[in-house]
Amino acid sequence: MSQMTNEVDNNVHYDDQTGSQLNDDGNGVGVVLKKGPWTAAEDALLVNYVQKHGEGNWNVVQNYSGLSRCGKSCRLRWANHLRPNLKKGAFTAEEERMIAELHAKMGNKWARMAAHLPGRTDNEIKNYWNTRMKRRRRAGLPLYPPEVLLQAFQERKHGQGTGEISDGDGGHRDFLKKNNYEIHDAIFDSLKENQGILPFLPDLPAISANSFLPNGLGSPPYCNLLPSTLPNHDHLQESTMSFIGSSELNSNRFYPFDHIKDNTSDKISESFGLYSPLDRGVSHGSICYSHSLSNGNSSTSKPTSEAVKSELPSLQIPETEFGSWGTSPPPPLNESLDVFIHSPQPPNALDSGSSSPLNSGLLDALLYQANTLGCSKNNSSDKSSNSSIATPGDRAECSALNMYETEWEDYADPLSPFGATSILNEHPVVSTNGNSWDEWELFQTFSENSADNNERLQSIDQVWTPKSENQSMSLLNFTLPDVLITSDWHELYSDHDSTNQAIMTEASDDISGQ
């Protein structure tokens, strides 16, 4: 890097600037070890050493090479920069897709991910992901492309989760599978991270709580959601019921966004964990409350803001804990669910009366989403009739949708394996050049100023067809167009809904089918 090139022959500068540390490995006590950026001369020394002695024994490098670096630093330098076959430069589209996919499966297992990306280092991947995630989070965008979510979900569902990608982290998965409690990491991760996948429901029909809770949690699909092996089922049910009771699900009919009619659209985003670009507060409830379940264990003793801090993607649970679950009674799961279920709601949530499924946690948000999708297919009249509700929410929803639509522009590259081509061919896009962020804003403005939402939603209804539903299940290669400034953008909208629907249908099937 340019940084490095500027550092050649300036040892003194960096010694003074970055300080030093004493060697603590006994090899040269009192020797001042250099820190900071490596110089070309140091690199040469290290390369020379490795060529002569091979990798390893890093702590003795300074003895043989004359380097004043600790072994750790040498190893890192070699691994990240000097070893042969390192691939430099920007990640390719394929690599980016791989990273998203791997992260959806593995979480922050950078080293494992690097193993699947020849020539790339864990540090590189980590930096890439963190930067990318920061950017996306700031923009309020979901971390994973829907097709990655769907694919991962399907793979997990069909027991081919590891497939060609073995993360070696099957411990907790085994546990999950054994307990028929297999919910894909990525789904929860995505929900937890920013839940961008949820808010882009095409519309928000009023649905009857009874329609998907015919007999409360004691009947499908909820009863099947619970691990059949749970010995403390009653307890869990009771807990879950109280959880449901805390929401508006116990009313005959609830309007998911009704309660936010009078609130700002931020509440929707907050409820679904969709970050507002303007508000990245770390204490957003949805993040906090989703954490316990997504982790599958109760980590709520810690400040929930940590969920944000740690950027936990997948089931980032110490494997020992899961391992112990496998050999000991499942109460931890109960507890975790219990904790999740009884997750304290922020006072304002209660005060505002927004104890809706949106605020009560990602589980019912997920289920709500899944069921809503089901309802939306069967009840277009409801859809249209309800498209008139919650104007502010609708706007927020629209915003979320818009974000989603432009979200995966990275994957809209015609060369991308996600294959934007077909979509782009099917749906003429007016503008498709370059980066779309500005265009997205333009589009958002367009959307917000466009004809009233009812009309838009009706259009969506019109373009919904069983065909698109069927297609949705084969949309693994579906890619969002780069830009959606198009006269018939609602058709794209509809296709996104298809993907979304596919995901949520999978989620619903997966949950109810367990």
Partner DNA sequence: AAGCATGACAACCGCAATTAG
Partner DNA sequence: ACTAATTGCGGTTGTCATGCT
Nearest to 246 by CA among 367, 353, 355, 343: 355
Q: Closest distance between DNA and the C-beta of residue 25, in Å?
A: 4
Is 325 a binding residue for DNA by CB under 7 A? The answer is no
**Selected binder of DNA within 51, 85, 301, 320 (CB under 7 A):** 320
* Amino acid at residue number 263: N
**Selected binder of DNA within 95, 96, 101, 124 (CB under 7 A):** 124
Q: Closest distance between DNA and the C-beta of residue 200, in Å?
A: 22
Instruction: Tell how many helices (H) and how many strands (E) occur in the chain.
Output: 28, 5
Q: Closest distance between DNA and the C-beta of residue 486, in Å?
A: 24
Is 59 a binding residue for DNA by CB under 7 A? The answer is yes
Q: What CA–CA distance (Å, rounded) separates 370 from 348?
A: 27
Pairing of strands 253-254, 20-22: unpaired
* Amino acid at residue number 296: G
Kindly state the DSSP code that residue 253 receives in the 8-state scheme. Answer: E
Q: What CA–CA distance (Å, rounded) separates 231 from 235?
A: 9
Cα separation values, 484 from 157, 181, 243, 303, 421, Å:
32, 38, 40, 40, 14
Give the tokens for residue 362. 């990602």
Interface of this chain with DNA, residues 270 to 309, rule: CB under 7 A: 309
Q: Closest distance between DNA and the C-beta of residue 413, in Å?
A: 15
Give the tokens for residue 348. 């304002």
Is 60 a binding residue for DNA by CB under 7 A? The answer is yes
Tell me the HSE value of 40 on the side-chain side, using a 13 A CA sphere.
Answer: 9
Sign of the dihedral defined by the CA atoms of residues 34, 37, 42, 48, in that order = positive
Q: Closest distance between DNA and the C-beta of residue 334, in Å?
A: 25
Stretch that binds DNA, among 120-128, 207-215, 406-414, 473-481 (CB under 7 A): 120-128
Stretch that binds DNA, among 52-60, 374-382, 454-462, 496-504 (CB under 7 A): 52-60
Give the tokens for residue 72. 């750790």
Q: What CA–CA distance (Å, rounded) separates 440 from 70?
A: 48
3-state secondary structure of 116: coil
Q: Closest distance between DNA and the C-beta of residue 60, in Å?
A: 6
Q: What CA–CA distance (Å, rounded) separates 367 from 449?
A: 32
Is 77 a binding residue for DNA by CB under 7 A? The answer is yes
Which of residues 28 and 392 has its CB atom nearest to DNA in the complex? 28
Q: Closest distance between DNA and the C-beta of residue 412, in Å?
A: 17
Stretch that binds DNA, among 108-116, 214-222, 354-362, 494-502 (CB under 7 A): 108-116
**Selected binder of DNA within 62, 65, 68, 73 (CB under 7 A):** 73
Is 310 a binding residue for DNA by CB under 7 A? The answer is yes
Q: What CA–CA distance (Å, rounded) separates 109 from 117?
A: 13
Interface of this chain with DNA, residues 16 to 45, rule: CB under 7 A: 17-18, 21, 25-27, 34-38
**Selected binder of DNA within 32, 53, 56, 118 (CB under 7 A):** 56
Q: What CA–CA distance (Å, rounded) separates 283 from 264?
A: 17
Is 126 a binding residue for DNA by CB under 7 A? The answer is yes
Cis previous bond, 221, omega within 30: yes
3-state secondary structure of 207: strand
Are the beta carbons of 481 and 454 closer than 8 angstroms? Answer: no
Is 110 a binding residue for DNA by CB under 7 A? The answer is yes
Stretch that binds DNA, among 53-61, 261-269, 424-432, 488-496 (CB under 7 A): 53-61
Which of residues 196 and 357 has its CB atom nearest to DNA in the complex? 196
- Count other Cβ atoms within 10 Å, centred on residue 150: 28
Kindly state the DSSP code that residue 276 receives in the 8-state scheme. Answer: B
Are the beta carbons of 31 and 23 closer than 8 angstroms? Answer: yes
Is 210 a binding residue for DNA by CB under 7 A? The answer is no
Q: What CA–CA distance (Å, rounded) separates 400 from 109?
A: 29
Is 127 a binding residue for DNA by CB under 7 A? The answer is yes
Is 4 a binding residue for DNA by CB under 7 A? The answer is yes
Which of residues 2 and 252 has its CB atom nearest to DNA in the complex? 2
Are the beta carbons of 181 and 119 closer than 8 angstroms? Answer: no
Q: Closest distance between DNA and the C-beta of residue 293, in Å?
A: 19
Stretch that binds DNA, among 13-21, 181-189, 475-483, 487-495 (CB under 7 A): 13-21
Is 259 a binding residue for DNA by CB under 7 A? The answer is no
Stretch that binds DNA, among 69-77, 96-104, 364-372, 506-514 (CB under 7 A): 69-77
Q: Closest distance between DNA and the C-beta of residue 128, in Å?
A: 6
Is 215 a binding residue for DNA by CB under 7 A? The answer is no
Bridge partners (DSSP) of residue 215 are 217
Q: Please report, as ranges, the residues that interact with DNA according to CB under 7 A.
A: 1-4, 6, 17-18, 21, 25-27, 34-38, 56-60, 69, 71-73, 75-77, 80-81, 89-90, 108-112, 122-124, 126-128, 130-132, 134-135, 138, 309-312, 316, 320
